[in-house]
Every structure is written in structure tokens, then in C-alpha cells.
Amino acid sequence: MPDNRSAAPAAEEPEAPEETGAPEERSTGGGGPAAVTIAYIAESAGVSVPTVSKVLNGRPGVSDETRARIEELIQRYGYRKPPKNRSNLVELVFRELESMWSVEIIRGVERAARRNKVGVLVSELGLHDTPVRTIDETVGRRPQCVLSVAWLSEEERDQLKAKGIPFVVFDPNGELPDDVPFVGATNWRGGQAATRHLIDLGHRRIAMITGPDHPFCLARNAGYVSALAEAGLPADPNLMVKTLLTREDGYRAARDLLTRPDRPTAVFTANDMQALGVYQAARELGLSIPADLSVVGFDDVPAVAWVDPPLTTVHQPLAEMAVAATELALALGRGEDVPRAGLEIATTLTVRESTAPPKS
């Protein structure tokens, strides 16, 4: 299988990054444990890891009393900073690179990396049952930070933490512990806005083709149900189909919905690929979009602006999300205090020509 990794042009080498996690264990010369880490110093002093990092790197923002307490513990335990040997790279990790929106994510990461004068390395690890490589290779490269698209297992997170490599999960598809930093989108509001748009056009039989039980799919479906309830419309289980997030599965779900005697007049899908499947099914059944059927997708991948008719969809700001994720990861690497571990970037509805009022 070809190597899917690529690196941005090398940027000017900045000073080595500050230590912020617990990169290596250190032997102590005092009465502490057999080995000590920066996290142990922070716990002993009753402060955060970034606060200890500021003291170690001579940065302001720490009170004299706290600084003295931390310095005393550093002296007592004989702690020494590990070598500044991280590479001048941000590593962007995909599980698979087949998605249409991968390019938007890479574009956003590149934009933030240029601003921070670091390079970008793109890696493909592969899915659970067909791994191409492991996170060990990423850890061995010692990047300044790691951005993982969709998920990072607990074991992988522990490996990165052990080497003091900060990480951010981009658009997570599973629940994460509260302390794991992530960047996502306002999926619930996106689902609500899409459904409200169809209701405002006069549609009352609105179907929802949703996806697996990932948090973002559940949130989009919950936004759909909320908008129906707000309008006094029932959430008919017969109009909700759960399937995979592919064009083929969207097609099969739409064939089922559109061949019923009481077919829906509008369909909202959990992503744009499913919406393209709805287009195919509607064409085969002789239905015109939007005259006979309105369709709304989710993501706003570039291609859907060029289909016939152009697709109305919820715009997920992938490039902006990628910029925010990169800046967050680099800030964690510098030991900065970040206001919160998770960020959600606002979605917006992009109205095009695939939606119209239903026929009388």
C-alpha cells in the first residue's frame, strides 16, 4: 500500500518547545519517589501542569509564593527538564483518507501551521480491523503536537501523554473523557436549522436519514426531532431511517422511503454523501428535485455546490475547525492555560436549489 504521509515545506526552525506534560521519568536525589515527572511536581504543589511549566521555563504569570513552592519541590526531588528534542512538526492523523472533506481539514491545519512556523505531516493509521501503522511511529517522531481525526483510543492517548506530546481530537465520533481536548461543530443546531428550513417552506412529512450512533449523528438527529416538536409535528419513527454514512446506503434508504404510498415530501440526511444517494433514488423513481422532493444534507463538501440541482446543506466549517484544533494543540504544547478542553464551531445553513415548498 502506498505511503499516504506527506510533509509541508520545511519552515524556519524555532526554539525548541517548552515542556508541558510528563515526557520522561527522572531519578530523584531527594526524598521523593524513585522517579518524578512534571505532573508529580504539579500534584505535589497543588497546581496545574502548565503552571509548573511556566516556572521551569522562566515565564511570568505565577505568583511569587507559588513559584517559590514549585522551585523548592524541583530542588528537593532533583527534577531536570528532558532534552528539547521534539521535531518541528504538527502531525495530522487520519484513520482513512477517502473522505471528501479530508482536503478541507488539511487546508486548515496548513494555514495554522504556516502562521506558527511549523511543518505538517499527514499520516493514515487505518481503521480498527485494518491498521496500516500504529501510533508508535507517531510517538517515535516526537511531533510538537498531534491532531487525530475522529478518535484516539485510550491506549494511544496514554502513549502520547507518556512522551509529553499534546493532542487534540478533531470532530470526535465517540464519547471522550472530560479532560481530552477536542474541536467539533454545533451538530444539534445544524440539524435543527435544516429541519426548520423545511418546515418554514411548508413541509410536514419530513424524513430523516441518520447514521451510526456517533455523537455527531445523534446530535443532528436530536436537532431534527427538536425542530419538529417546536412546530407541533410528530417525530414519526416510520420517517426515520438509520444507516451508514455512504452514498450507497443513502440511496437504499431513500428507495425505501420514496416508494411508500405516503412518501415524504422532504428528506434531511446526516451527511452530504447520503444526500447524493437520495438524488440517485429520486431520479430513478422519476421524481424531480425540488419540485417533487426537497433534500437537505450536512457538511457542505465542495462537490455538492456543483450537483444538479445544487444541494442545500448545513455548512460544517471544516477548515476553521482545523485551524482552531491546530492552535489549541500548539497552545497546549507551549504550556498555556486554555479556557476549556472542548470547542464547538458554529454551523450555518447554506440554502441552494434543492429545497422548495411542497406541491399543494
Task: For 300-314, write each residue's pLDDT tens digit.
Answer: 988 899 999 999 999
List the 240-242 sheet strands across, edge first.
Answer: 240-242, 206-210, 266-269, 294-299, 312-315, 348-350
For the chain, give the mean pLDDT.
Answer: 83
Alpha-carbon distance of 225 to 204, in angstroms, equals: 13
For the entire predicted model, the pTM comes to 0.71
Alpha-carbon distance of 266 to 198, in angstroms, equals: 7
- Report yes or no: 228 and 259 within 8 Å, Cβ to Cβ: no
In sequence order, the β-bridge partners of residue 27 are 35
Instruction: Work out the pLDDT band at 200, boundaries 50, 70, 90.
Output: very high
Give the pLDDT confidence score for residue 293 in this predicted structure. 98
% of the chain residues with pLDDT over 70? 83
Average pLDDT over residues 48-57: 81
Q: Residue 246: what are its φ and ψ, rounded to 5°?
A: -125, 160
Q: Is pLDDT of 281 > 90?
A: yes
Q: Say which amino acid occupies 153.
A: S
Instruction: Work out the pLDDT band at 127, boundaries 50, 70, 90.
Output: low
155-193: per-residue pLDDT in tens? 888 888 888 888 999 988 778 888 889 999 999 999 999
Q: Is pLDDT of 114 > 50?
A: yes
Give the pLDDT confidence score for residue 25 in this predicted structure. 38
CA distances from residue 294 to 97, 107, 202, 247, 283 in whole angstroms, order as listed: 31, 32, 11, 17, 13
Cell, residue 340: 476549556
User: In order of start, what are the domains of the chain with their CATH numbers?
Assistant: 6-11+84-184+319-344 (3.40.50.2300), 26-77 (1.10.260.40), 187-317 (3.40.50.2300)
Give the pLDDT confidence score for residue 4 in this predicted structure. 39
Residues 6+ apart with CB under 8 A from 270: 208, 209, 210, 211, 217, 220, 221, 245, 298
Instruction: Work out the pLDDT band at 2, boundaries 50, 70, 90.
Output: very low
